[in-house]
Amino acid sequence: MTIRIRPGELEDVPLIAELIRGLARYEKLEHEVVMTEEKLTTHLFGERRYAETLIADDDGEPVGFALFFHTFSTFLAQPGLYLEDLFVVPEHRGGGIGRVLLERLAQVAIDRGCGRLEWAVLDWNQDAIRFYERLGAKPNSEWTVYRLIGEPLRALAGE
């Protein structure tokens, strides 16, 4: 097994879409996916790039990815990285691919002067929670995440 981590490129859009759908299946959230390759192309590789990806290849075969973007901490007065998605295809789990992706992402954070790397995990995903805690990550249980989508978002915007 030879794992190579590389930045996602425009020609990876179909692969990134496939990996996102795989993650949604794993998380039992396929019904929420409205992503299209066109949207990924626009928002990952367009004029304004909202997020970045890292692709894990095992001897040239894509086996996982991480999708992340910058945040900013006013308390630290430093940028941070937010890991939106980390996914390793099921038949390649347990071989260290997730760790290698996170190691690279941690290095990106350090190289860019970031003060933190954050992410969320579904509370039922005990395997992921154990994995993250073995890395030294700590849950931030003092905060509750809120989300506006669809009609409530448009209503607040006055549309």
For residue 71, what are the contacts with CB-CB under 8 A and spacing of at least 6?
A: 79, 80, 81, 82, 118
Return the pLDDT at 141. 85
Which residues are the active-site residues?
A: 132
Interval 84-133: pLDDT, tens: 999 999 999 989 999 999 999 999 999 999 999 999 999 999 999 999 99
Residue with tokens 């997730």: 98
Cβ atoms < 10 Å from Cβ of 69: 15
Return the pLDDT at 144. 87
Return the pLDDT at 35. 97
Return the pLDDT at 62. 96
Provide the token pair at 57.
């290849």
Do 104 and 114 contact (CB within 8 A), yes or no?
Answer: no
CATH code at position 42: 3.40.630.30
Q: Which of 80, 79, 97, 78 is nearest to 88 (CA)?
A: 97
DSSP string, 63-105: EEEEEEEEEEETTTTEEEEEEEEEEE-GGGTTSSHHHHHHHHH
Confidence of residue 148 (pLDDT cuts 50, 70, 90): very high
Which range of residues forms the domain containing residue 44?
A: 3-156
The total domain count for the chain is 1
Mean pLDDT, residues 51-76 taken together: 96
pLDDT at 136 over 90: yes
What is the DSSP code (8-state) at residue 48? Answer: S
Phi, psi of 139 (to 5 degrees): -70, 145
Cα separations (Å) of 13 from 47, 48, 94, 105, 133? 16, 16, 26, 20, 31
